[in-house]
């Protein structure tokens, strides 16, 4: 990526961090008191995400490799993963900063079409794993918790929506989604002309991207399920964060309850996808989820606070990583990399 484009992403990340710090909805003295209460659990929560991002990177790396030797080093993909998520956390509507950044960083290694298709595939896999996780949590709730009529209706709606989403994702994997997505954008007033122009200008590239997307599910099933499995595992491991935080306040909580809390919270927060860092929605989701499982709602608010601090720490790390390890790469014909 050209340095001027990288600097644009970097300055955007710095601006987002400053805005978040200035709009933190808590007195800083109270915040410090709550962080001190967390003790060694806060570093444990932060370090847990080293492993979660490792799983995310492995999922994306499996797609990039295409069953062959990858031209891009694994540590570079890890760096792009962390920085990409940092930009997504800070961006309203999500997926508006991190994905272009990843594509532009990966392009010098594998080319524009491969970089685009691998990022699109990974984003699809990341979102797809959300629906699999929510559907799994619906089944888990029915197995271990009493279900009244109101809760049964809610679980039925969530379950049906997840099944419909999974069906459309599988259909998209079989036939590709790039061209279809752009055609849908052609019906949106503000970006209709841009989408139409982009389809006409980049039609060959889009068709090549769709072909690569379809190949992952059709010809490389093992890579498809490996990538999906790693993303799903990352979501289960992410529930340990809730378990760690709640153990600051009480020992009367099971890991299974933490899975249900995380599932409901992520579902609730994603309904407010237009908010940067899902401000307010995440905390509200934790409060409602813990209350629904007969755990104090105050515990949920505290969990949301510590989670928000962890996110902010990793946003800072991701933004800083954008300025390191950015040597100029030149791909040789034999697939090796020259560094200058």
Q: List pLDDT tens digits, range 93-128.
A: 554 567 888 888 898 888 887 888 888 889 889 989
Alpha-carbon span 212 to 272, nearest angstrom: 32
Q: Using DSSP, how many helices (H) and how many strands (E) does the chain show? A: 14, 2
**Which residues on adjacent β-strands are paired with residue 337?**
331
The helix-helix angle for 28-38 and 221-249 (nearest 10°) equals: 100
Give the pLDDT confidence score for residue 215 in this predicted structure. 76
Torsion of CA 43, 46, 51, 54, to 10 degrees: -140
| CA proximity to 139, closest of 164, 170, 165, 163 | 163
Sequence spans of domains, the chain: 3-326
Alpha-carbon span 317 to 298, nearest angstrom: 29
Residue 105: how many other CB atoms lie within 10 Å: 24
The pTM of this model reads 0.81
Per-residue pLDDT tens digits for 50-95: 999 999 999 999 988 876 666 789 999 999 999 999 888 776 555 4
Mean pLDDT, residues 177-191: 69
């Amino acid at each position: 990526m050209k340095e001027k484009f990288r600097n644009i992403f970097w300055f955007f990340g710095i601006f987002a961090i400053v805005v978040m710090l200035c709009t933190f909805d808590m007195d800083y003295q109270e915040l410090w008191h709550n962080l001190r209460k967390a003790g060694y659990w806060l570093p444990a929560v932060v370090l847990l995400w080293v492993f979660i991002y490792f799983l995310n990177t492995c999922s994306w790396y499996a797609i990039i490799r295409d069953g062959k030797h990858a031209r891009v080093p694994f540590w570079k993909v890890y760096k792009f993963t962390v920085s990409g998520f940092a930009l997504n956390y800070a961006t309203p509507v999500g997926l508006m900063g991190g994905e272009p950044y990843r594509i532009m960083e990966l392009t010098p290694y594998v080319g524009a079409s491969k970089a685009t298709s691998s990022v699109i595939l990974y984003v699809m896999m990341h979102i797809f794993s959300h629906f699999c996780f929510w559907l799994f949590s619906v089944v888990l709730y029915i197995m271990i918790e009493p279900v009244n009529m109101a809760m049964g209706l809610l679980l039925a709606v969530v379950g049906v929506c997840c099944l419909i989403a999974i069906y459309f994702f599988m259909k998209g994997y079989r036939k590709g989604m790039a061209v279809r997505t752009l055609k849908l954008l052609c019906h949106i007033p503000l970006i209709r002309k841009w989408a139409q122009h982009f389809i006409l200008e980049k039609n060959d590239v889009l068709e090549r991207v769709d072909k690569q997307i379809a190949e992952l599910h059709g010809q490389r099933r093992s890579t498809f399920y490996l990538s999906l499995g790693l993303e799903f595992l990352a979501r289960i491991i992410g529930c340990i964060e809730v378990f760690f935080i709640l153990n600051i306040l009480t020992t009367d909580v099971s890991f299974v309850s933490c899975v249900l809390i995380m599932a409901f919270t992520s579902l609730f927060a994603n309904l407010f996808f237009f908010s940067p860092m899902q401000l307010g929605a995440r905390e509200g989701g934790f409060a409602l989820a813990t209350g629904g499982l007969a755990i104090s709602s105050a515990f949920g608010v505290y969990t949301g606070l510590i989670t928000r601090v962890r996110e902010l720490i990793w946003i800072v790390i991701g933004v800083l990583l954008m300025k390191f390890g950015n040597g100029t790469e030149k791909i040789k014909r034999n697939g090796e990399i020259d560094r200058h």
